């Protein structure tokens, strides 16, 4: 989940419009030494399994993509993951966030 945000008062261009995120640029990876890198899921026609909607009801659109994690990908000692990507042209900007993960025991 990537939360959109409005521009800060008097600072145009400081917000994030979720509709400008390029799903093809997204990579989810370990921050704890794992070597896995995941891309968003795609359907049979190549469309990304991503949606844009106001998740937290703050009046700003948010971005959510599904990632398929094959069994055994994430180690038990891994507790953090990072999501990197870019917004679309004409003014591409980096998108970066991390969060805690909780691998399930097999």
pLDDT on residue 67 = 94
Q: 26 is written with which tokens?
A: 């997204």
Q: Is residue 78 part of a domain?
A: yes
pLDDT on residue 106 = 59
**For residues 21 and 85, is the Cβ–Cβ distance under 8 A?**
yes
pLDDT in tens, 43-67: 999 999 999 999 999 999 999 999 9
pLDDT at 13 over 90: no
Q: Is residue 59 part of a domain?
A: yes
Q: Is residue 93 part of a domain?
A: yes
Q: Is residue 2 part of a domain?
A: no
Closest to 25 in 3D by CA, of 90, 86, 88, 95: 86
Q: What is the pTM of this model?
A: 0.85
Q: Is residue 90 part of a domain?
A: yes
Q: Is residue 82 part of a domain?
A: yes
Q: How many domains does the chain contain in total?
A: 1
pLDDT in tens, 81-104: 999 999 998 889 999 999 999 877
What burial class does residue 25 get, using C-beta atoms within 10 Å of its C-beta: 0-12 exposed, 13-18 middle, 19+ buried? middle
Structural domain range at position 89: 18-100
């Amino acid at each position: 989940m990537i939360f959109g945000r409005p521009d800060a008062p008097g600072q145009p261009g400081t917000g994030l419009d979720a509709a400008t995120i390029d799903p093809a640029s997204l990579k989810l990876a370990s921050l704890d030494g794992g070597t896995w890198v995941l891309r968003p899921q795609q359907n049979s026609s190549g469309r990304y399994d991503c949606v844009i909607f106001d998740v937290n009801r703050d009046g700003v659109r948010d971005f959510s993509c599904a990632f398929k994690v094959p069994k055994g990908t994430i180690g038990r000692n891994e507790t953090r993951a990072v999501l990197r990507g870019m917004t679309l042209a004409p003014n591409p900007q980096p998108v970066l966030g991390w969060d805690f993960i909780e691998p399930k025991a097999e």
